[in-house]
Amino acid sequence: MKAPDQQYTQFSEMPGSPGSGGAAGLGPVDQHLLQRLADAHGVGTSFHGWDGLPHSVAPATLIKVLAALGVPAHSDELIEAALAEAELAPWRRMLPPAVVVQQGETALVPVHVRDGATARLHVELEAGAGEPVDAVQQDIWVPPQDVDGIATGRATFAVPEGLPLGWHTLHAESDGVTAQGALVVVPARLTTAAPLLQRRGWGLATQLYSVRSKRSWGIGDFADLADLATLSGARGADYVLVNPLHAAEPVPPVQPSPYSPSTRRFFNPLYIRVEAIPEIAYLKPRRRATVDRLQEQVHGLNRDAEKLDRNAVYAAKLQALELLYHARRAPARQAAFDEFCRISGSGLDDFALWSAIREDLAPEDPLWADPDCALGSPEAESLREKLADRIGFHRWLQWICDEQLENAQQAARRAGMRLGVVHDLAVGVDLSSADAWTLRGVLAPGVSVGAPPDMYNQLGQDWNQPPWHPTRLAEAGYAPFRNMLSTVLRHAGGIRVDHVLGLFRLWWVPAGNSPRDGAYVRYDHDALIGILALEAQRAGAVVIGEDLGTFEPWVRDYLAARGILGTSILWFENDGDSPLPPERYRTQALASVNTHDLPPTAGYLAGNHVALRSRLGLLERSESEELAEHTATLEKMMGLLRERGLLPEGTETADSQSEERTIVALHRLLAQSPSVLLGVALVDAVGERRVQNQPGTTEALYPNWQVPLGGPDGKPVFIDDLPANARFNALLAAVSEALS
């Protein structure tokens, strides 16, 4: 009989019902044991909510999350066995799969061998950059363990401190048995932002798809990015921060949200400027006429001020790109394409295979979940051979994306930008994505990423994105994480990591559960942040972490110590009920007036977002109450602007002149902060009022991520118009002057 103070939970719901955990009929589970097992695998059993109160995670949810980690926990017997296995798991390996150590520190590496046997360990440096380095065994005795009837000992080796940054390989040997693992030497601190401490910088932030020129095919593209960088660089900007440019579906219809991509490693061919591909000059007249006709079909979409049409644009571009793919390439061009494919390796081949299959199969097709059709299976390899030409096409598309991104970055640097293009890294990928298929082995099944309830989303959020499996990612030597970062950073001066807190912990929502019924799963943040810093250091890129929302207090200090910049949004920086004085902002941060999840400042000042949320039924209170609170918040900010002499007494925001003056004043206020980077939203520079993304809505309610750049009159604003746009020039000049 159990002691009376122990707790039990009887799971009696039907499998698949809310909160069941699929544990029907399996009897009581000791909650103390369950919590011990959850702790052993990095699953939080409680968390502090936005209300400041502690909340316990339901036992059924813990069981589901553990199941996603491959740990059965439906009975006390299973839990006890899993606890024992958690202790033995490291002993079953001769070497850990990956060791991540900061440069200048000594890494202690355990080597497990037959008890009493001798062992040796050496380090092979990356790319043969020197002779192998022997590790020295330490005088550390650890009691042997019985592993499946074999007495197993542990020898501890010290890896020398002076190893260079990079991806090295550990080699262990004992009694003819060998093993190897990854040794990643990472910077103790990323130094790429150090020059910004000497001279602060500023730049534009924009959603590239919405920023069109008169040469666009209805969607902003890589050539438009180069033009925008050149224009703003000439006015003193140091960077252009764009939305995630990750690839979406290979054929229409495509997902509008750039934050729900098909892969985070490769780019979206939707952004290709067709006319910038050199082979277009050598098309036969009839084929060139076809390209011109396709462009003409969608060129009129440029004039649409209400909603972008990605599907029509992409369909037309794909037809044109097909013609260019089959055009003969000069020997030098072919050699460049071959080299790109070689460097990109199997990751590009696998993504191209998925793209070729996905052209004809719906995301819900059984093939994607069939283990007999998984990557590497005979069926998948048969399709690789059958679809060779289509695979070649999708590889070629990525080469063109890479070339045009390189051109955009070069244009930015030629214009005087210190950083150039700053990419945005989404939190994850869609559940039916390329990564979900090609990286199945390192993603957790049966769960998706989201967020617990907060003041804006009181039901919580489910983003429908599979998370990294912490253990399997480490077992893969963190190669998928590294490959993703190195591709995104290949032609970049910086990277913004959306929800950087996800490198510490992620909210896992089991399938069938409400977003409220999830749990936090911890990640090895030392390893992930270290690898992020390593790849950024190699690329010479600044890293900006979007560290808004609920987080543990030490996290921001940790990121700052590692050289990762944070994010400060003017409207979110408060001291109690009053705006935080700008002098108290963080130095190591990108500070901006707003973000893409807020309305442009002109719309925010007018309270348009309150009316919109009321119309969409998203308010918890009456519209008048919300508007009154918003007005009070604005008045406090206006008071601070007047107090600083940035806004004349009596200034209202009702007329366009006062509105523009207020927006300039807000940016001048922001410039009084010590933050090393300032951000200017392009929508603020042209007087746009509409929000790009209204959280809590679907496409049926609001055209999220589909709003073209427009001015205060509602008409489209083209890149061609910016040099003569007085509002654009005035705001950029004010920011540049304030930082000089």
pLDDT at position 651:
63
DSSP H helices in 93-203: 194-198
Mean pLDDT throughout 345-354? 98
Query: At a CB cut-off of 8 Å and minimum separation 6, what does 161 contact?
Result: 104, 105, 106
CATH level 2 (architecture), domain 104-186: Sandwich (2.60)
Burial class of residue 587, CB neighbours in 10 A (0-12, 13-18, 19+): middle
Q: What are the tens digits of pLDDT across the range 550-596?
A: 778 899 999 999 999 999 999 999 999 999 999 999 999 999 999 98
What mean pLDDT is predicted for residues 232-260?
Answer: 97
Quick one: pLDDT at residue 24?
A: 39
Using 50, 70 and 90 to split pLDDT, how confident is the model at 8?
A: very low
Percentage of the residues of the chain whose pLDDT score is greater than 70: 95
Report whether pLDDT(697) > 90. Answer: no
Q: Inter-axis angle of helices 331-358 and 388-414, to 10 degrees?
A: 120
The pLDDT of residue 27 is 54
Q: How does DSSP assign 530-570, residue by residue?
A: HHHHHHHHHHT-EEEE---SS--THHHHHHHHTT-BEEEEG
Phi/psi-derived region of residue 75, left when phi > 0, alpha when psi is between -120 and 50, beta in every other case: beta
Give the mean pLDDT of 708-732: 97
Residue 59: closest CA among 6, 9, 7: 9
CA distance 406 to 403: 5
- Which alpha helices (H) appear in 300-428, and where do they start and end? 310-325, 331-358, 378-386, 388-414
DSSP per-residue codes, 473-513: HHHTTTHHHHHHHHHHTTT-SEEEETTGGGGTEEEEEETTS
Which residue type occupies 245?
L
High-pLDDT (> 90) share of the chain, %: 88
Cα–Cα distance list, 128 to 132, 136, 346 (Å):
8, 21, 22
- The values of phi and psi at residue 616, to 5°, are -90, 0
Task: Fill in the amino acid letter for 123.
Answer: V
Place of tokens 């910077």: 187
The residue that leads in pLDDT, 414 or 460, is 414
Q: What is the mean pLDDT of the chain?
A: 93
- Token duo for residue 323: 């013609």
Look up residue 617 and give its amino acid: G
- Enumerate the CATH 2.60.40.10 domain ranges in the chain, comma separated: 104-186
Mind listing the pLDDT tens digit for each residue in 265-301? 999 999 999 999 999 999 999 999 999 999 999 999 9
pLDDT, residue 222, reads 98
Give the pLDDT band (50/70/90) at residue 325.
very high
